[in-house]
Structure formats: C-alpha cells, structure tokens
Amino acid sequence: MGCGSSSQRPQTTRNINVLASSEGQKKEDRKVKVVLLGDSGVGKSSIALYLCHGRFSDSHQVTIGAAFLHHTIHLKNGETMKLHIWDTGGQERFRAMAPLYYRDAYGAVVVYDSNNVDSFNSLKYWINEIKSSGPRNCCITVVANKKDLPQKINSEMVMKFCKEQHVSFIECSAKTGENIKTLFERLASHIYSRF
C-alpha cells in the first residue's frame, strides 16, 4: 500500500512538503506533511502503525521527539497523495519542540483517548497550538481513539466542540482498525480540495 517508516530524519523540511514545489507537478504526485498531535498514551503511534502496517501492538513504547512514516492514499478521483506522517511525542517535556514538527504541515490529526477526560481537556491546547504556530489553512481532524472500549466522553459534546473550533471529527480504534483508513482518506481529500 505504499507504507513505510524511517528512523532517520529527512535532510530538509523542503523535501517533506513539496505540495507547492513546482507548477508542472500534477496533484496526483503531491506529497504532504501530516502531523499527529495529542497527549502521551492516547494512541497516536498505534494509529500510525495500524495505517501503515495493518496491525496493533499491545506493547506501548513512548515516542521520543517524533517518528516519521509515510503512506500513499488513493483518492476517489483516481489520483494519489503520499502522506509524510510525523508522529510526535505527547509528553509535557516535548511540547516545546512540537512547533518544529508541525511547521509546513498541511494536515494535523489531534488525538484524544475517549476514555481519558484529561486527554480530551487537552484538545483545546493542541488545536490552539496548530492554529497559532502552525501553517495557515492546515486541515485539522480531531480523533477519538479507543472506540473499542466503553466511552467516558460524550460524542455529541465532542462534535459540538469540533464545530465551534471549525475542525473535523472522527471516532476510531487503533486496536481493531475501525475508521483508521477512513480518517486518513478524508484528511487527504480535504487537503487535496483545499490546496
């Protein structure tokens, strides 16, 4: 499916975000940077792992700084878009580095654990961060992860919050894979139509 990962960082940000790199480049050849944001333990890495490798791992390893993966999305119009996914560490000590990771991002996936009220309460922080320090017109999607477990946070309340923030919303499960592919297909379509 065109998934891959790398432990090496790209040489320059310019190589990652080539959306506007040349006038002659077709949209189907476009590569875009997408950043995963959210508190530690909400499942950002698990979402990326399921998208790119089709599996879930029970062993949780904390992301230090950021991890880099890529995945090709086939849009409904027959064209493709290669997502360069930056999976960021959500610990407090890495928050100061976050703007370095979402610079030049065309999409942001802000994840919370639907069973953890504190992670939901942090959504506003992450959304404000990307809106104030990130690129203008970044497509933002809020993700309620761990849909496979009993929910502690009301979905209608989250939808209302997302509407007020002018961001998209989807529920998913990195464990079962429910809506993982849909999440990134919708985000890619939104990015494609916006840019």
Domain boundaries, the chain: 29-194
- What homologous superfamily is domain 29-194 in, according to CATH? P-loop containing nucleotide triphosphate hydrolases (3.40.50.300)
Return the C-alpha torsion angle 121, 123, 128, 134, nearest 10: 150
Q: 167-191: per-residue pLDDT in tens?
A: 999 999 999 999 999 999 999 999 9
Query: What is the value of pTM for the model shown?
Result: 0.81
CA gap 57, 62 in Å, rounded: 13
Interval 41-97: pLDDT, tens? 999 999 999 998 888 877 666 555 566 788 999 999 889 999 999 988 755 656 677
Q: Cα–chain-centroid distance for residue 24?
A: 28
Show the beta-strand stretches assigned E in the chain: 4-6, 31-37, 66-74, 80-88, 107-113, 139-145, 168-171
Widest Cα–Cα separation across the chain? 50
